[in-house]
Amino acid sequence: MYAFDFVRPKTVADAVKALQAEDAQALGGGQTLIPTLKQRLAQPSVLVSLTGIDEMKGVCRDGDVLVIGGGTLHATVAREARAHYPALAALAGNIGDPAVRNRGTIGGSLANNDPSACYPSAALASGATIVTNSRKIAADDYFQGMFTTALEPGEIITSVRLPIPQKAAYVKFEQPASRFALVGVFVAKYAGGVRVAVTGASNNGVFRWTEAEAALSANFSAGAVKGLKATAADLIADLHGTAAYRAHLIGVLTARAVAAAG
Amino acid sequence: MPKDFGIGAPQKRREDIRFLTGRGVYTDDLKIAGQTYAVFCRSQVAHGRIVSIDTTATAAMPGVLAVFTGEDFKDVGGNPAGWLIKSRNGEPMREPKRPVLAHGKVRHVGDAYAAVIAETYQQAKDAAEQLAADTVIDELPAIVDMAAAVADASNRVHDEIPDNLCFDWGWIEDNRAKVEEVFKTAPHVTTLELVNNRLVPNAMEPRASIGEYFPGTGDYKLTTTSQNPHLTRLLVAAFVLGIPENKLTVVAPDVGGGFGSKIYHYGEEALVLAAAKKLGRPVRWTAERTESFLSDAHGRDHVTKIELACDKQGNFLAFRTETLANVGAYLSNFSTATPTFLHGTLMAGPYKVPAVYVNVKTVFTNTAPVDAYRGAGRPEATFSLERVIDKMCRELNLDPFEVRRKNFITTDMFPYTTPVGLVYDTGNYQATLDKAIEVGDVKGFEARRAESAKRGKLRGLGLSTWIEACGIAPSHLVGVLGSRVGLYDAATVRVNATGNISVMVGAHSHGQGHETVFAQIVADKLGIPEASVEIVHGDTSKIPFGMGSYGSRSLAVCGVAMTKAVDKIVAKGKKIAAHMLEASEADISFENGKFSVAGTDKAKTFGEIAFSAYVPHNYPLETLEPGLEETAFYDPNNFTYPAGAYLCEVEVDPDTGKVQVCSFTCADDFGNIMNPMVVEGQVHGGVGQGIGQALCENTHYDENGQLVTGSYMDYAMPRASDVPFYTVDYSCQTPCTHNPLGVKGCGEAGAIGSPPAVVNAVIDALHRGGIKVSHIDMPVSPARVWSAIQNA
């Protein structure tokens, strides 16, 4: 690591102020940032830890919406969302390993927007609202490509509001080495229709598979997506799978997610 | 009933208490007053000419104490290869110098060309970054693919080696014509082209070294992560730095896994010693994980074409192989032995095949050096054999169990001379196969397959019957084969005056459990409590000599040396007892810790004899020296030949290509068992690594020689969810005939026997599902299985 200053503010307002310093960097659970620093691939002047801000932690229900503080640990979501949004809790409970789940936060994951991360698929499939210190952003507007989001520099995700679906499931096919999603599909059924979000597969990061959404909105069954082909155009091709393989997995996992949602 | 102490008892490992409670002491744990930190500059390109290294700015940075480049070591020796292999035409192999730091050229990504020593680690890191920025390297085209390396004489890893070929080896060259004849007339020939994938060892503890120099005496001390401290001392002292052996102590304290990669001497060890002398201060270095990926000696990396000639009933007539073996950019210490004498000599397997010919071309490339990794050559041989046999069975519609059985060497044929130069002393391959079939419940397979099918999964059963040569030793034999060292081992048994015992052994334990098992053997032989026996290893200033731990040799070679030293202790004890009991030495017997006079109740305990040896008031001083300490060296007269049968059951998900190992059954013949719990642990670890090779681990260099799989984000290690609960049976025991313990060695078996069992199971599953795939290269990843299904 290169040398840096470290602050751990107690309030969102203080964190926002601290992030105005030149080359300041917000630190959530550090599950991506710390390894990046260790490899000397980033050189922030000051790390602003968000882990001391109590107002950004916790899971609560607001009518039909589940509200999760941006600084909430995956392990907490796995535990406390189970009664309200079991598919989301299951997703959180399968991120990384216990060490990761007890450090990593939902806000950190969404702000980083790793193309293979699990949470972006849940946020997008749920039509979530990303709440920051200054505004509210619809998930459809928030994810803007691999490691790219609508966040402005210094903007902090304070909470995530996820409408609770009638039925939902997330199915992840693990990349053999990292165990991130090689492909992950989150299916959520609402009164207004079905949303299907795919992570791990695209060079543009998480995306909605609209053809599957249409088919499933008409007929919510695994059979409804049979024969439906996800477009292979912008899909990732690497050592762990070709674009065609990922396209195929999107179909398989969507059907499995629908079956698991019941 | 298993014994509850001594030989054969399933004792828990005494060393695990410290390992599991964080109280082990590894190289990086040692803090030494005045210590300084070394950081290496490593090449970012696979192949390049070093134009200039400007050290001026770096040397002036805060905390920087010294800067070294290849220029500083150009006049010292190179790190040599331990085996001289000759090509088919009689020419000796090409041996380019392996320098402490790259000089003139860098030859692989991660090749260290400079080092910076500073007061703190961060200062050394900063300085190394500066030095890299002040270095000019002209990138040259990378040589990565072996076939292209041999074909293109214009692009050379080493300028003096035109075709990048180290040697072209034939084994046995005199068999070549005979084997060709067999193939011309054989009723059936099966051919298989396969890749034995390159593996990164990934020991949990990265390599680390601390160099010290004591100007008052001129002594050096190297504390390092070694499986082999005496060999490291020999190489650093005599070959590289020119330090007298008696002025260098090498200590390998607790070492967190090696799997072969820590057998060898590396340039970092020489650097910290030279730097310590120059600075008069200790110099330490611990590899970062990325450095381990880039610079530890890798394993395997063979491309092989194997042919099997047989009759229509599946009786083997001949095997023939052509292999390209990657040695990487430099010759690591065992790199030339691994693809030859640890590979070609095993190419008859446990079968009575009359004719075998093996050709290996060993190739330099711009990749990390490749050397022995758990199994070392024998997994490559076993994989080739067991895969081509399975393919032949499918082509001729024969039962793979029966084909192996009919080709086995039978128990009445031992000692058995193979056509590839080994003499198997004993074995019972039918028995281990029968045991595997029984314990693995082959009868119940069809029901399990039907159950899997109900869930949409394809279930398959894979078999591998393997043999290895281990207890790597007989000096007379390895000398003929090209080894430049002897391969005996040594132990000293020191009985203290109070009767407890220190045993100094040449074998080095880095996870194997010697501290427990060796103590069990000594305690059993002397009839004393195991707690009274301490095993000392890994320090050249304490132990008599040793050739280290690898090749499943610790017990079969060093353990036997230790037993022989114990025998000498008993013999001397009898002399002392005869004097004290006023009896003839011939009438003294030793049993259960007591020296007694035959036919009387007169006896002395072991403790009384030990005390008398050190307080010799009533002692035959005129004929016998006081003290009770004995050393033995042991050089066996043959390898040992563990063998066994492995069964693997897998489920393939045809929709995703994912393979799940459902069960893995081992029926092994390791000869006599000293501690069954440790044996099981060794087999579990070996099979885990074999499943890792078969399904997960892929070392991928791109066409520019960049290691794409240079971290755990892309290099897939097997995890708990990837392996099943193992069934390990070792009840078939044909004791080794040429060592007094009757032991054979078990450390590598799992890694040798398991990969073909896994791959055979996947191919079987696909065939049973109607998908006619003849081969999938390892690692059999989901993507590869899915592609194979699409292309079938």
Kindly report, residue by residue over B216-243, the tens digit of the pLDDT: 999 999 999 999 999 999 999 999 999 9
Model pLDDT for residues A122-138, shown as the tens digit of each residue:
999 999 999 999 999 99
Q: Which residues of A fall within a CB distance of 8 Å from B122?
A: 1, 3
Q: Is the pLDDT of residue B515 over 60?
A: yes
B contact test, residue of A36, A116, A175, A225 with most B CBs within 10 A: A175
Same domain, A88 and A156: yes
DSSP string, B620-654: -TTTS-SS-EEEEEE--SS-B--EEEEEEEEEE-T
Same domain, B229 and B329: no
Q: Nearest to residue A235, comparing CAs of A248, A225, A222? A: A248
Chain B residues whose CB is inside 8 A of the A240 CB are: 714, 781, 783
B101 Cα to chain A: minimum distance (Å):
23
A78 and A117 fall within a common domain: yes
Q: Of B122, B656, B709, which has the smallest distance from its Cβ to A249's Cβ?
A: B656
Question: Is the per-residue pLDDT at A232 higher than 80?
Answer: no
pLDDT digits 0-9 by tens, B493-514? 999 999 999 999 999 999 999 9
In 10 A of CB A43, how many CB atoms? Answer: 12
User: What band does B246 get if pLDDT is binned at 50, 70 and 90?
Assistant: very high
pTM: 0.97
Domain boundary among A124, A142, A163: A163
Among A144, A163, A182, the domain boundary falls at A163
Cβ separation of B783 and A39 shorter than 8 Å?
no
Residues B239 and B104 in one domain: yes
Instruction: State residue B556's pLDDT score.
Output: 95
Q: Write down the pLDDT at residue B152.
A: 86
Q: What is the DSSP string of B161-181?
A: -TT-EEEEEEETGGGHHHHHH
- What does the pLDDT look like over B128-163, one tens digit per residue? 999 999 999 999 999 999 999 999 888 999 999 999
Mean pLDDT of B666-681: 97
Q: Which chain B residues are closer than 8 Å to A178 by Cβ?
A: 712-714
Tell me how close the Cα of B719 comes to any Cα of chain A, in angstroms: 10
Quote the CA–CA distance of B316 and B468 in Å, as a whole number. Answer: 19
CB < 8 Å to A182, chain B: 782
Evaluate whether residue B759 is within a structural domain: yes
Contact flag A240-B787 (C-beta cutoff 8 Å): no
Is there a single domain that holds both residue B280 and residue B335? Answer: no
CB atoms within 10 A of CB B154: 6
B708-731 burial, b if ≥16 CB within 10 A, otherwise e?
ebbeeebbbebeeebbbebebbbe
End-to-end CA distance of chain B: 52
Q: B714, A249: Cβ pair inside 8 Å?
A: no
Query: SS3 helix, strand, coil % of chain A, rounded to 5?
Result: 30, 25, 40
Are B410 and B552 in a shared domain? no
Q: What local confidence, expressed as pLDDT, does residue B85 receive?
A: 96
How many Å lie between the alpha carbon of A114 and the closest alpha carbon of chain B?
13
Residue range(s) defining the domain that contains residue A243: 167-261
Q: What is the DSSP-derived secondary structure letter of residue B118? A: E
Domain count, chain A: 3
CA-closest candidate to residue B258, choices B366, B427, B372: B372
If asked whether residues A156 and A188 sit together in one domain, one would say no
Average pLDDT over residues B695-714: 97
Whether residues B714 and A40 touch (CB distance < 8 A) is answered with no
- Which residues of chain B lie closer than 8 angstroms to A252, CB-CB? 655-656
Structure token digits, residue B715 = 């290099």
- Quote the pLDDT of residue A229: 87
Query: Interface of chain A against chain B, CB under 8 Å?
Result: 1, 3, 39-40, 173, 176-179, 182, 239-242, 245, 248-249, 252
Going by C-alpha positions, the residue among A261, A243, A161 that lies closest to residue A200 is A243
* Residues A175 and A112 both lie in one domain: no
Q: Read off the CATH number of the domain in which B40 is found.
A: 3.90.1170.50
Do A173 and B656 lie within an 8 Å CB cutoff? yes
**What percent of chain A stands above pLDDT 90?**
97
By Cβ distance, the residue of B709, B779, B786 closest to A245 is B786
Q: pLDDT tens across B436-465, in order?
A: 999 999 999 999 999 999 999 999 999 999
Instruction: Flag if B655 and A252 touch (Cβ within 8 Å).
Output: yes
Interface touch B782/A252, C-beta < 8 Å:
no
B283 and B314 part of one domain:
no
Domain boundary among A163, A178, A195: A163
For residue B333, which of B376, B381, B359, B297 has the smallest C-alpha distance? B297
Three-class SS of residue A188? Answer: strand
Distant-in-sequence, close-in-space partners of B525: CB < 8 Å, separation ≥ 6? B563, B566, B567, B570
- Both tokens of B709, joined, read 């799989």
Given B634, B656, B690, the domain boundary residue is B634
B370, B200 contact by CB (below 8 A): no
The answer to whether the beta carbons of residues B560 and B632 sit under 8 Å apart is no
In this predicted structure, what is the pLDDT of residue B1? 52
- Average pLDDT of chain B? 96
In a shared domain, residues A68 and A156 = yes
Q: What is the pLDDT of residue B2?
A: 60
Determine, for residues A178 and B290 on separate chains, whether the beta-carbon distance falls below 8 Å: no
Q: How confident is the model at residue B480 (pLDDT cuts 50, 70, 90)?
A: confident
The tokens for B532 are 């009274």
Average pLDDT score over residue span B737-761:
97
Summarize pLDDT for B361-382 with one digit per residue, the tens: 999 999 999 999 999 999 999 9
Per-residue model confidence (pLDDT) at position A227: 87
The vertex-B468 CA angle with B463 and B473, nearest 5°, equals 170
Q: CA geometry: angle at B752 spanning B750 and B754, to 5°?
A: 60
How far apart are the CA of A229 and the nearest CA of chain B, in angstroms? Answer: 14
Is residue B193 a part of any domain in this protein? no
- DSSP code of residue B330: S
Instruction: Classify residue B439 as exposed, middle or buried by CB count within 10 Å of its CB (0-12, 13-18, 19+).
Output: middle
Residues of A in contact with B712 (CB under 8 A): 177-178
Q: What's the gap in Å between the CA of B701 and the closest CA on chain A?
A: 11
Mutation target among B658, B707, B714 for the A interface, most CBs of A within 10 A: B714
Facing residue for B716 by CB, picked from A1, A40, A176:
A176
| Domain shared by B623 and B502, yes or no | yes
Q: Which of B295, B313, B346 is the last residue of a domain?
A: B295
- Residues A41, A84: one domain? no
* Average pLDDT, integer, range B303-332: 98
- Closest Cβ–Cβ partner in A3, A179, A241 for B783: A241
Q: Kindly report the nearest CA distance between residue A104 and chain B, in angstroms.
A: 17
Tokens coding A206: 């998480």
Residue recorded with tokens 């078969």: B694
Q: Is residue B6 part of a domain?
A: no
The reply to whether B466 and B497 lie within a common domain is no
Domain annotation covers residue B267: yes
The yes-or-no verdict on residue B118 having pLDDT over 70 is yes
Q: Domain with A24 in it: what CATH number? A: 3.30.43.10
- Contact across the interface for A252 and B714, Cβ inside 8 Å: no
In angstroms, the first-to-last Cα distance of chain A is 48
Residue A229 burial (10 A CB sphere; 0-12, 13-18, 19+) = exposed
Percent helix, strand, coil in chain B, to 5, is 35, 25, 45
> What is the model's pLDDT at position B472?
78
CA atoms within 13 A on the CB side of B257: 16
Closest Cα in chain A, distance from residue B630 (Å): 51
Are residues B621 and B643 located together in one domain of the fold? no
- Nearest by CB to A245, which of B709, B715, B783? B783
What are the beta bridge partners of residue A184?
Answer: A172, A199
| A233 has pLDDT over 90 | no
Task: Detail the DSSP E strand segments found in A136-199.
Answer: 136-138, 157-163, 167-174, 181-190, 193-199
Say which residues have a Cβ less than 8 Å from residue B480's Cβ, sequence separation at least 6: none
Two tokens, residue A160: 């995530």
A34 and A62 both lie in a single domain: no
Residues B628 and B644 in one domain: no
Residues B451 and B495 in one domain: no
**B561 has pLDDT over 70:** yes
Please spell the DSSP secondary structure of B481-495, one letter per residue. Answer: HTBSS---EEEEEEE
Cross-chain CB nearest to A177 (options B656, B658, B713): B713
Mark whether A174 and A243 lie in a shared domain: yes
For position B386, what pLDDT does the model report?
A: 98
A191 with A159, same domain: the answer is no
Q: Which phi and psi angles does A131 have, rounded to 5°?
A: -100, 125
For residue B481, is pLDDT > 90? no
Residue B715, min C-alpha distance to chain A (Å)? 5
* Average pLDDT, integer, range B118-133: 98
- CA distance, residue A201 to nearest chain B CA (Å): 14
The C-alpha atoms of residue B173 and residue B87 are separated, in whole angstroms, by: 10
In a domain, B767, yes or no: yes
Report residue B15's pLDDT band, with 50, 70 and 90 as the boundaries.
very high
Q: What is the pLDDT of residue B737?
A: 96
Give the residue on B whose Cα is nearest the Cα of A247: B656
Of B656, B719, B779, the CB nearest to A252: B656
User: Are A40 and B125 an interchain contact pair (Cβ–Cβ within 8 Å)?
Assistant: yes
> A242: which chain B residues are within 8 Å (Cβ-Cβ)?
783, 787
Taking CB atoms and an 8 Å cut-off, how many pairs form between chains A and B?
47
Q: In this structure, what token pair is assigned to residue B413? A: 């044929």
| Alpha-carbon B390 to chain mean position | 27
B536: containing domain: 488-634
Q: How many domains does chain B have?
A: 3
Separation between Cα atoms, residue B679 and residue B13, nearest integer Å = 12
